[in-house]
Amino acid sequence: MGFSTRWNTHFAPMPSVNKNLGLAAGLALPGALFASESAGVAPAAAKLVDFGHGWAITNSMATGWAASTILIVLILLVARKPRILPTKSQAVFESLLEGLHDLFEPIVGKKAFPAAFPLLVTLFIFILINNWMGLLPGVGTIGWEKGFSDGSSEFIPWIRPFSADFNGTLALALISFGAYLIIIFKYAGPKLILWDLFGNKADKAETPAWLYPFLSLVFLVVGFIEVFSIMIRPFTLSVRLFGNIFGGENLLHGTSFFFVFYFMELLVGLIQAIVFTLLSSVYIGLICNHGDDHEHADGHATETLH
């Protein structure tokens, strides 16, 4: 499935391989030419343009921009002129949105759902496209050969999945975490957040008087543990997505895109996109949906009094 085409940008001899022999092998046996790379894919994304001082455009960044462009174009083509009687493409798009709506709304809660839904849909589709970008022929195997003065060379692939770069998954996790903080402070408020983290959840009327202060101390300690778990969420979200996609990329390249693993990675890409967005929605719902429950209970109590 994968193409191993290499476009050399220099004429320096490769180490332990004659230049003419390497060129002939590249034209006649593209699969064999990639065999030396089958040991694994480099964890760091390759720099396509290096501006110096740590600033560069990497192949994963370029792939992420390409995926964003594809996503924007698809939305404009499908939803630019919605019709009462939808076209096939509009019907598919609406079905996708309805499915995600039914999945996320019970988790997030009705109060915060209008603000969270656009973020969750965008994350899901963007991550899914980038996860599947690594399954396209030529991704990670088409590029150029960069030569060095000592005669050695390094292959620079032009395209690499955005989610197979830890910097990319970390950026997605930070966006998700930042949106989480904005939404919970807007729709739950600091008072409910503090109570949810440190408040005594025991019913004072049904708890012995001597036990209630002790439970307050327990919930306070548990609250600090919960704060720590919240602070590491960007790391756990990013590592989970990166590990699965980067591992799948290595598996495909190491097995020359063997069709069994290829279709397995189709499923893994879908599952990881769902897991990332589901966890993002669960984090929001743990506080905002809890607030909806309180408001519903208060409203029901008020109606009963009336």
Looking at residue 12, what is its pLDDT?
38
257 pLDDT more than 70: yes
Of 60-64, 111-115, 252-256, the range with the lowest mean pLDDT is 252-256
Categorize the per-residue pLDDT at 258 as very low, low, confident or very high, splitting at 50, 70 and 90: confident
Looking at residue 141, what is its pLDDT?
67
% of residues, the chain, pLDDT over 90: 29
236 pLDDT more than 70: yes
Q: Can you read off the two tokens belonging to residue 9?
A: 């940008």
Section 157-164 average pLDDT: 83
280 pLDDT more than 90: yes
pLDDT averaged over every residue in the chain: 77
13 pLDDT more than 90: no
Per-residue pLDDT tens digits for 198-220: 988 888 778 788 888 888 899 89
Looking at residue 88, what is its pLDDT?
79
Looking at residue 96, what is its pLDDT?
85
Section 186-208 average pLDDT: 86
